[in-house]
Amino acid sequence: MDLILESALAQFHHGADHVKLPDLYRKLLTSFKTTFQAEFPVEMDDGSVHIFEGFRVIHNNARGPTKGGLRFTDRVSLDEMRALAMLMTWKCAVVNIPFGGAKGGVRVDPTSLSADELQNLTRRFTSELLPIIGPDQDIPAPDMGTNAQIMAWVMDTYSMAKGYTIPAVVTGKPVAIGGSEGRYEATGRGLLYVLEEHLASSGGLPGRTVAVQGFGNVGGVTAKLMQQAGAHVVYVSDKDTALHHPDGIDTASAWAHVEDGGSLRSWLDQHPGMAEPVAPEDVLTAEVDVLVPAAVEAVLTADNADAVRARLILEGANGPTTTDADAMLAERGVPVIPDILANAGGVTVSYFEWVQARQNMQWTEDQVNAELRRVMVGAYRNVVARCLVGAEGECTQREAALWLAIERVVRAIELRGIYP
């Protein structure tokens, strides 16, 4: 079993122990409703045919149709899909949106494909998924290696097969074909709203120092929005470059440059003196008020957790903190706002996109952001309140978020019963 699934299951059992979950529900929640695996051919530009392997795992749909990303990476495995599908079940339950959890992917390095090959692969895999996905069944979204264009191809392929346009089959589409205003920035904005709520009783965000690891959709947007909200973003990094400025980096300028196809390195080349290059590990060990790991999983480990000097960790990436590191940070009293709460802004606005598609409505960006704030602040308060029940505050937010999620999913199963 892959480590990622092992730790997802261990985390679940830990939470299940605390809420004294009966064996039946343990069995149900450690099983996966649908596991789909396909090997399928794609004709390449040179006329050769390559066989790709793709997966879609639906963990649990007790609370509604399932929701989860579709990733194209060369590391995709069935265990990874299972672990991430389970994480999506908990994430949707924490923010209390009526979805279950799923995840899918194709084992491919998308940067090795031409645009035509990428489109052919997407359309063929979507055809394979036709019996599983659908606006009332399972609704994919962009994830690592996929984007709004790929969602447009998924939507088009599905619609062609059904004979009419069905925008609600995917989220994260371009706004021009039924995507939602505010979806692109939603994960970063959700992180900001949760952080503002967390700091509300202790002086707020303005003037705080922040370090952000990862400068893509999550990290770049988060860094930009936090600067706009008055924080000093003193460290940022992408996979090649880490930058520091003690007074704060102009992250709006850097993000505009990266969005335009540049990198942090080329931004610095064009803006000499606006930051200094530092070692990548300096970002994770920076003495700042808030550290936002927003790149990849398992970056805070037993090897570096004791060197972390941030006063708070806000998880932008999925699974950036290993179980060992989590225990070490808890022992030292460093609070962690966990991924299933902190980065749920993306799936929340995906839900709004699905609602808009089903109602043939288009909300304004202000409407989307106001609703997002309501959901994220409500979820944060529910998690904090859950910690006070039974644990009298002696728990981490990760534990409380998981207890809340398990209880919500179990309640749905109880109410629905076991069919027949």
Which residue type does 128 have?
E
Q: What tokens appear for 321 in the block?
A: 């903190």
Contacts for 155 with CB less than 8 Å, ≥ 6 apart: 165, 166, 167, 169, 170, 173, 177, 178
Query: Which of 207, 294, 202 is CA-nearest to residue 247?
Result: 207
Query: Which of 210, 207, 202, 283 is CA-nearest to residue 242?
Result: 283
186: number of Cβ within 10 Å: 29
Distance CA 124, CA 279 (A): 42
Q: What is the DSSP letter of 260?
A: T
Cβ proximity to ligand NAD: between 158 and 215 the closer is: 215
Q: What tokens appear for 165 in the block?
A: 């346009």
CB of 380 closer than 8 Å to CB of 345: no
Query: Which of 143, 140, 184, 183 is CA-nearest to residue 158?
Result: 140
Q: Tell me the β-bridge partners of 213.
A: 237, 293
Distance CA 282, CA 345 (A): 28
Q: Shortest distance, CB of residue 376 to ligand NAD, whole angstroms?
A: 13
Binding site for ligand NAD (CB under 6 A): 144, 187, 213-219, 237-239, 280, 294-297, 316-318, 343, 346
For CA atoms 255, 258, 264, 265, the dihedral sign is: negative
Catalytic residue list contains 20: no
CB of 363 closer than 8 Å to CB of 352: yes
Cβ proximity to ligand NAD: between 61 and 237 the closer is: 237
First to last CA, the chain: 32
Q: Shortest distance, CB of residue 292 to ligand NAD, whole angstroms?
A: 10
Q: Shortest distance, CB of residue 315 to ligand NAD, whole angstroms?
A: 9
Q: Shortest distance, CB of residue 223 to ligand NAD, whole angstroms?
A: 10
Angle between helices 345-359 and 78-94 (to 10 degrees): 80
Q: Shortest distance, CB of residue 238 to ligand NAD, whole angstroms?
A: 3
Q: Shortest distance, CB of residue 136 to ligand NAD, whole angstroms?
A: 23
Catalytic residue among 67, 91, 103, 224: 103
CB of 186 closer than 8 Å to CB of 349: yes
String of DSSP letters for 90-122: HHHHHTT-S-EEEEEEEE--GGGS-HHHHHHHH
Tell me which residue has tokens 């149709």.
65
Give the active site residues.
103
